[in-house]
Structure formats: structure tokens, C-alpha cells
Amino acid sequence: MNASNLKPVLVIGGSGVVGRRAVKALRELHPELSLRIGGRDVNKAAALARELGHAEAVRIDLAREDLGLPPDAAFSAVVVLLKDDSLRTMKYAQGRGVPYVSFSDFVFDIGPEVALHIQHPTASPVLFLGNFLGGTVALATLQFARELKKVHAIQIGAVFDEEDVGGPAANADMERLTKGVPSPLIRKDGKFLWATAEEDVTRTFQGADGTHWQGRAYPLLDVATLAAVTDASTVRLDFALRAASSRKPGEGPGHEVVIELTGELPDGTTAHVRHTLVDGDVHSGLSGKGVALAVERLLGLVGGAPVGPGLYSPEGVLDSAHVVERLKAWGTRIQRA
């Protein structure tokens, strides 16, 4: 598949905090791929489009079934970086038979999208990309798990700078979390559990530099999808916040992810394997890169033919070795500790 032959990729929320990083990463990967930056503020989107090249801004009206787009508009994919509570964007993608990427789902609120896919199972590839950092962490986890014959436990800890909070879409997500299902999903002793007890919700983990952090479980799709792929009997994802005052001079609000795996090596011995991902950008940077990697895969620009209709997790479409190589090339420091 040649990027210059494709219709534009529509990125709704494309000038937001994650969106601008996603389209820049996509542009870097595919200089010829045409992009449409959709947002409510067309001036902001237009400025970004000029900066990117091969891109235009489009005004999106989520209150309309046609999204406010002209009838002859045609796209190669619809990528939605905000929570579309109406699901009109998904219906639009299904109606045109193009891939749909849903970035902003928590683990508890995919039901309406699942039903819409079940109603029209052969219409579009539908990718749930609500996973942590646009699926990059789940894919890195699977890559690190390759040295194990059987994975027993996956424990992921992340440390964010307190000033690394994301944009309006992220704030809306936090509000939905509070109003939706505040209890996080974890897998413990082989059972899925919507944790309410404090000892289940919290976990202490060691950061990349040895600092101990008190994390809280967060309800992202990774727990469900990593459990499905590995059948690990313990799976959890915990977030901790670091005070901005603890930054070293000249450092920005970077973040780190610690992926700890316990399992069985091919020789039958039990191993505890620890990897760290350290990134100097705000966390939306890796999220945006995850979106770009997913889009190029769905379109068949890398890793095989275009992905056919179906319901997908990032683990189901992306190659873990490719994702880790990409992240390293982009400057994320990945180490086996």
C-alpha cells in the first residue's frame, strides 16, 4: 500500500494535546499520507495543517450524523481522539466501510461500541485504542514477555509529573471516570476484580531510579487485553504522580513506565523480569505515537495487508518488536533492569 494513493485520514480532535502529536508522528512516518485535522476550532487546526503539509483542517460537528462534512467527503480512516458520546463518528466510519480508531474508552465504557460492531460486524475494522499510552505499553509488555514460556504476573507502574495532565479531552475523561465506574479492574489470583478495597486499589512499586511510589490502579483496557493474550493470573496497571518540584534543573515534565513480569522461563525456572521506559515528553507524546503506529498498520502501510473488518485490540493488530524498535528510534529509553 502506498500512502500517496490513499484518501485522507480524518483525525477528529487532531489539533488537541494528543492529536497534534499523533498527526506529527504520522507525518514523520508517511510524508505523503494526506491528513484531515478535525476540530471545533478550525483556525487552530488550519495552522497545524499548514505546518504538517498534505493536510487540511475540517470543521467537525458531532451533533450531526454527517459530522458536518460534505456528502462527497471520503477518508481512508476515521480516528477519534476524544470521547464521542454519540458514537456518530463510529457510525460514520461503518457507513463508509473505513477503519475506526476509538482512543478514549475506559475499560468500563466500551459496551455501546461493542453493540454497534455486533450490529454491523463486517462494516469496518474497529480498533479499541483506549489502552495506556495508545497501546505502546501493552505492546512493549508483550515484547518483554517473549522470553517467558508462561506469564504469571504483569504489573505495570507509571509515574507522571503532576503538571502533565493533558488537555480538555483528558479532563472530560477524568470526569467520566468519576461519574462512571470509579472502581478499577484488576486481575488477582486468576480472577477479574473491580477493586474497591484499598489494599487492592493501591500498590507500591519501584521507579526507574529506585524511588518507591505508591500507585493506584487505573481502569484502562490493558488489564482485559493483556489478560486475554497472556492468561496471566495477576494483571494490573497503577499510576503515581510526581511533584513538579522534584524535577531536576532543565528537565521537562517527563514520565516513566515500569513493566514487571513474573513467569516461567523455557528451562522451567521462575523469573522476575523488569523493564523501564523513560520518556522526556509529556505522556501524550507516546499516546500520539501509539495512534500513528496503529493507523499505519490498519491502513496496511506497514506490517501486512490492510486490516479487515472486525473488532480489535492493539495487541491484535500490531507487532510488538516493531513497536519497541519504533519507540527506541523516537527516543524513549527502554532498559531491562
Contact footprint for another protein (CB under 8 A) = 63, 85-88, 107-112, 114-121, 128, 176, 179-183, 185, 190-196, 221, 223-225, 227-229, 231, 310-313, 315-316
Instruction: Return the number of the residue (193 or 271) whose C-beta is nearest another protein.
Output: 193
Output the CA torsion sign for 301, 256, 11, 64. Answer: positive
Instruction: Return the number of the residue (108 or 330) whose C-beta is nearest another protein.
Output: 108
Instruction: Return the number of the residue (116 or 302) whose C-beta is nearest another protein.
Output: 116
**Residue 145 to residue 157: CA distance in whole angstroms:** 16
Return the H-helix or E-strand segment holding 52: helix 42-52
Q: How far is the CB of 241 from another protein (least distance, A)?
A: 24
Mapping DSSP to helix (H, G, I), strand (E, B) and coil, where does residue 85 land? Answer: coil
Q: How far is the CB of 135 from another protein (least distance, A)?
A: 13
**Residue 180 to residue 261: CA distance in whole angstroms:** 30
β-pairing, 55-59 vs 77-80, is unpaired
Q: How far is the CB of 255 from another protein (least distance, A)?
A: 25
Q: How far is the CB of 214 from another protein (least distance, A)?
A: 21
Mapping DSSP to helix (H, G, I), strand (E, B) and coil, where does residue 86 land? Answer: coil
Instruction: Return the number of the residue (242 or 297) whose C-beta is nearest another protein.
Output: 297
Instruction: Return the number of the residue (142 or 282) whose C-beta is nearest another protein.
Output: 142
**Residue 226 to residue 222: CA distance in whole angstroms:** 6
**Residue 33 to residue 164: CA distance in whole angstroms:** 30
Q: Which of 168, 166, 208 is nearest to 335 (CA)?
A: 208
Q: How far is the CB of 285 from another protein (least distance, A)?
A: 26
